Structure 1
Amino acid sequence: MKVLIVDDEEHVREGVELAIDWEAYGIRSILMAEDGVSAMELVRREDPDLIICDMSMPRMDGPRFLELLREEGWNAKVIVLSGYQEFRYARATLLASGVDYLLKPFKIDDLDRVVAKAVESIKESRHLRTEDIHKNYRLKEADSLFNEQKMAAYLQADPIHEEGVLQLLHDVGLTESPFFTLVYLPINGNHVIERYYLGDESLFLFSVKNVLRDIVQHVGPYYGFSYDSFFVVLLQAELDEAELEFYRKRIADAWEQALRLRTISGVSRQPGTAGQLQTSLKTAKSEILHANIFGPTEKAGEPKPFLSFMDHEMLLLEAIRNRDKVRIRQLVRQFAETLRSKEVVPVKELQHYSVEANLLFMRIHHQLREQAPLEAMPLWLSDLQEWERTLISMFQSIIDNANEDASTIHTISAVKHYIADHLNEDITLSSLAERFHFSPQYLSKRFKEMYNVTVINYLTQSRMEKAAALLRHTELPVQDIARTVGYEDDNYFGKVFRKHYGASPTQFRKERK
């Protein structure tokens, strides 16, 4: 806090300064003036919290000085010192937010008492102002959040709730005229919130909106809001393509400079109406999907084909069965390093790997019979380091939460072993997929990739090989052999066997014995 001592007598000013333990009251700065004119200059420059003022001074006396304080709206608390007990001085004190009126000569204890009273009053006023600020902030944030929730509901309606969007945009200052739609995907948003905002997302978004306001408020009516994983800016202004690109980049640069927030952005280059907002958002998101997560590059040529995260499936599942967190980190980091070596990885490609990871998480979740809700990889991660960190954390969480049955997590090889051990049962692709928590399409694709044969052909081949062995080495009737390898219809078994070996079961037995 700051105190200003105003008196035309130097010894009085120095006496007041020395009489009080200012540090004890949290007052670090002591200012002095010899008349109202110089005092007013200090007030305008330093904005003191407490003023101790004489009433009888040259150039500008006390009453005029206090009157100016009130006219200009200064909130300093005032203690008046005077050698005259006049009503007009006391009245001036009250009008200027005064807290006390001391007659000269005064006792040091009396001055200390009124200073203590003034400091307490200052603290109380500050507390009330802070509460008002917080209350207004919370009210604004509540209104802002409610508007964003309404906007999300309007956008998710099919078709879009155009009337609702129009009313909301009107409420925030836009007209019915078309507007540009700019969409920003935060790259390191979670990191910024945790490190610089102590996890307070609402405070972070408040800062994002403040920076946005400074950039675009002079351009035209605008509305900035959070939607899904994005921050959307609707801007009503007559801009050519170069100007639009300028503001798209300037907003991103301002966020990075002020908040350390990096983003990938997309824009709908043709102004759209409220009824076209869904289409405008889709156009802008499409730009983001094709953006390189490593930033703009001049690298030419066709984009490299996607990798397959699922190629690491068996190794990952083995690490989970063994509860090997170190191995999990190694496998995920190896995959991430392979991605880094590509130099160009569009956002949509990273999304593809997130989807593959989620399919794997889903199967593991079913196999472990977890009761807790399944957590999924966010699809709009655009920072490879954060993607890597999130994926490792999710795999390790599975290990931490899994019970002793983690060793039962199945792989494609388990499907193959199951077929070999259950040839006498009614096995179909659908029943296998249901038992091992795969989709039929995924099971069929992965089985063929690993063993170069389809599931059904492998099942038939295994049945025929077992039937041939039984025909060669046992005297079991053909009908019993058919049942043993899963065929209830003898004639159908005979047809399948003939197609496989070029002879009927009976002929095969005669020729082989």
Structure 2
Amino acid sequence: MPSLLIVDDEGIFRKGIQVMIAEMQGDWVVIAEAKDGIEALEKIEQQQPDLIITDIKMPRMDGIQLQYIIKERYPQISCVVMSGYNDFQYARESLRLGAKDYLMKPFEREELYQLLGKLQEEYGQGKQVERKRAVEDRQVQTQVRQQVLAGLLNGSIHHAEPELLENVGIRFPHPYISCLIAKLDRESVTDERFYQMDPSLFSTYMQQFIQESINSTLLGHVFIMNDNEVVALINEADAESLFPKIERLTDQIRKEIRGLSNFTITFGLGSPVKDLESISRSYKEAGLALLYRLVIGGDRLLSSETVAGMKMERTEWQSADWNSLNQSVQEGNLAEVELQVREFVTSVCTKWKDPEIIHQQICKMLLHFYELAVNLTVVKMWLQDTDVKHVLLDVYSYSSSKELIERCQKLLGDLTVCISNRQKKFVASPIELVVRYVEERFAEPITLNMMAEIVYLSPSYLSSLFKSKQGQSFIDFLTEKRIEKAKQMLLYSDEKIQVISDSTGFSNIRHFNRVFKSLTNRTPSEFRDGHYSEVHTLRKDH
């Protein structure tokens, strides 16, 4: 017999519906009732009804939020919504979420009977078995899909495994993928409301809401990474149009969630990447951007552009001290780091009289060095049993410059030691290692970021150090090596120019031709033909 759960904050209305159904000539059985969405979820977990009849406006968790969660966790359960005349826009939202029908309050007995009679026909024994099997298959599919998406974020799945993605329904038909992270702004939810609910319900609600919003304008896959983090991988054909589209989308989502559910969320956005292996980098960037919520507040979209803007603001007023401190940390000069931290914190406390601004500036500085630690893969060694979020929150607990100086000296001193210990592994200097690597592997894809990870330096510091030691930028050096090899192949082999382009590390022949001509004033064909002509002339003269 099909079972039913009634959800309404008015007890008299719940009892009235229960009496109507008991008197109905049908098989429906009311197995439970609930006064709001939170209580309904508890009853659903315990008794797994076939149908839920729910009001829309209720305290704690309303009918719209309840339907989002049911759709994610219990897709086999059907819903019917009840609403007053003035709530029809919410009823329409419910129908969009998959509600079977809606009842306009107050409704007649015959109206309820007619609706339940229609639904009863859908609950034959054969359909129940088929539906149960489909639900089990979907649950397995969802678990595998979750693991695959998590694998993309940690970099363990790459482009050679497209069939793995296809098997779980994950497709990226467009060239660019960008990672978007959504997190609940905890301060927007009262303690009473937050602790009365399972915190994971907020993530489930956000996941469903974001997925449906993305489906209306973009292509993307949304999933719950953990209890307080929802991740979306958004796929787009044009990298330049991606940010404005996501900005409009997140503005709309934040506005609607704030209006419907009375809480706020903050988004972190990573830059677009072109291959599966780089998704983990976009995810890392989104997470770093999201950390700036502690500095400038939530209920907004934070991106690498946001972070860059804040860094620019920082360097405008303290660039000399900042660059010096950054260099001392990377060079392992512990005494100089402690001295410069003292000068920096003292300068901040002198310049700004507002404690909030002082804490913000200190957090910006620590976030910069956290990014450095991420790039050098020493975060775990540096922070050990804590994480950067707790470090930043800890900073806000200090109310004297002395405490701030001592805490920052300890943090950056520990980081300096970690970096120094990692660099001691090298016998040769970092620049010698980079030069040797390029000379041996110039035909492979090589980037400054890749070299920085290999020699445990930040990309910006390696770039300036390389130029000071070699007299040219890293990119110019790499390009020069590739063109030198290309010249040799043009002169002493009969390989086609396309083959030479591929063999010297260029992404395509058009780019190879353009770079070659800019450095030699001749195209590869002209260079080869000119050599043959010179050789022929010399032979003729002799």
TM-score range, shorter chain: 0.3 to 0.5
- Which structure's residues are more often helix, by fraction? 2
TM-score computed with the length of structure 2 as normaliser: 0.34
